Amino acid sequence: MNAKRRWFGTDGIRGRVGGLPLTPEFVLKLGWATARVLGTEGGRLAVIGKDTRRSGYMFESALEAGFSAAGMDLRLLGPVPTPAVAYFTRTFRASVGVVISASHNSFHDNGIKFFGADGFKLPDHIEAEIEAAMDEPMVLPNSALLGNVRRIEDARGRYTEFCKASVRGGLSLSGLKLVLDCAHGATYVVAPQVFRELGAEVEVIGNAPDGVNINAGCGSMYPEHVSQAVLASGADYGIAFDGDGDRVLMVDGSGRVYDGDDLLYVIAMHRSVLGELSGPVVGTVMSNLGLEQALLRAGIRFERARVGDRYVLTRLAETAGVLGGESSGHIICLDRTQTGDGIIASLAVISAVVDSGKSLADLTVDLVKYPQVLINVPVECGERVGSVLEDDQLGATVKLIEGRLADTGRVLLRASGTEPMIRVMVEGEKADQVRACAEELVAAVKSCPVH
């Protein structure tokens, strides 16, 4: 089934708070419809977690009312990382897990995303069924059959133990000084606990959420923030999460930033040495060509999926792979958990550093990345982004630039799955040429009529 979805994008439903679909009325009906679709499979329990946005309280209440109105019980986790919701969905044998978060976006946005009973994100056809159910009249059961609601008070402690269990027993981070940037988001309690309990000396920034400062000039979207803190404190490494904790970037003691491609390479090489790497490593169409070439030189197969961790997961399942990720820092260690997890991914990288006795710079010395330029171009009529990509003149410009780069580079234009914009990516051997080609494409996108 390949039904068209109106509200769901590549990572759930996302938008500006107060405008469709992010209104209390819509979210209440969404909770009811989700319970109607997923509650028919035998389970009558949902878990809900959120990040630190102020609007999360409003949407939590709306979802609570919607699920209860459909007769489904609820367990509220409070502010926890997105991957924690996937973990608790499995642990509680729930029918569905719900995350209230807009990930790396600013506080004025929010979103709703779902995990199925298996801890994986819902397939497209289930999302389509939920949308169809929203068109049905909202019918309530007898009041004795309404869902009950309880808050899980020790959710953070449970998840801390799960993260620590993702690394080999006996691993000690004693002697390491780390700076954690929690983006004033969902990791602000759990991440420091994990690393401190494993023995590291931890300094924390971005750990004072006030409901509106999430991702504001900090976290993985602004790695220079943690880089400066590492340099100022003399720390060995810095770790920057995004607002909901499913992305991570790192910096070393010199302030150098390591993106998702770098971290994926380090984990892949370490897993290979340990004999724990099966199947290909899966990246996306945005992954740097240098990553693919470095892994191939090491005898490790590399495959690309569409952008979005759900598509990386799908390809891992199809190829029996255990490791995949995106340049943005979504890294999936499928042998440890079932979705992108910033804490577990950073622990995997730190484990590689400790086990090898080498620095991140040493561990990535054979990874030589191609110059790559990524520019986001806003499109005024966001719902018609696709019409820009179908423009004949833009297509001709793309072919012209691809011919200019020949076999030494790549061009990619795609619509964002979370914001009304076109993402323009150009990659090649020569930095000046790459920049010029990207700027030419941006101008071509801006000149396109929106039909």
3-state SS record for the chain: CCCCCCCCECCEEEEECCCCCCCHHHHHHHHHHHHHHHHHHCCCEEEEEECCCCHHHHHHHHHHHHHHHCCCEEEEEEECCHHHHHHHHHHCCCCEEEEECCCCCCCCEEEEEEEECCCCECCHHHHHHHHHHCCCCCCCCCHHHCCCEEECCCHHHHHHHHHHCCCCCCCCCCCCEEEEECCCCCCCCHHHHHHHHCCCEEEEECCCCCCCCCCCCCHHHCHHHHHHHHHHHCCCEEEEECCCCCEEEEEECCCCEECHHHHHHHHHHHHHHHCCCCCCEEEECCCCHHHHHHHHHCCCCEEEECCCHHHHHHHHHHHCCCEEECCCCEEEECCCCCCCCHHHHHHHHHHHHHHHCCCHHHHCCCCCCCCEEEEEEECCCHHHHHHHHCCHHHHHHHHHHHHHHHHHEEEEEEECCCCCEEEEEEEECCHHHHHHHHHHHHHHHHCCCCC
Q: What is the phi/psi pair of residue 165, to 5°?
A: -75, -10
Contact 56, 147 (CB under 8 A): no
Q: What is the phi/psi pair of residue 64, to 5°?
A: -55, -45
3-state SS record for 57-68: HHHHHHHHHHHH
List the structure tokens of 15. Answer: 């938008």
Cis preceding-peptide flag for 21 (omega within 30 of 0): yes
Active-site position among 103, 220, 346, 416? 103
Q: What is the phi/psi pair of residue 274, to 5°?
A: -80, -10
Q: What whole-number distance in Å separates Cα of residue 69 and Cα of residue 63?
A: 10
List the structure tokens of 246. Answer: 């499913």
227 is catalytic: no
Active site residues: 103
